[in-house]
Amino acid sequence: MAFLIEFWNFLKIRKKFWLLPMLFMLVLFGGLIVLAQGSAVAPFIYTLF
């Protein structure tokens, strides 16, 4: 949790709020890949990358 607080303070101080959408998409795609491993959807997801 301390990492998230420190990261948020970094974004506020340095005015780098444009990093939030990129970080959100990385977390979303990472979670999608982890959840889809071993399912029937996995071959279709891996074709995206």
Q: Looking at per-residue confidence, does 22 or 46 come out higher?
A: 22
**Please, how many CA atoms are within 13 Å of residue 21, restricted to the half-sphere of its CB?**
1
pLDDT given at position 25: 92
pLDDT tops 80 at residue 15: yes
Q: How far apart are CA 27 and CA 18, in angstroms?
A: 15
- Rounded Cα–Cα distance for residues 33 and 27 (Å): 10
Q: Name, in order, each residue with C-beta under 8 angstroms of 11's C-beta and a sequence gap of 6 or more.
A: 17, 19, 20
The mean per-residue pLDDT over the stretch 34-46 comes to 71
Distance in angstroms (rounded) separating the CA atoms of residues 30 and 28:
5
Residue type, 37: Q
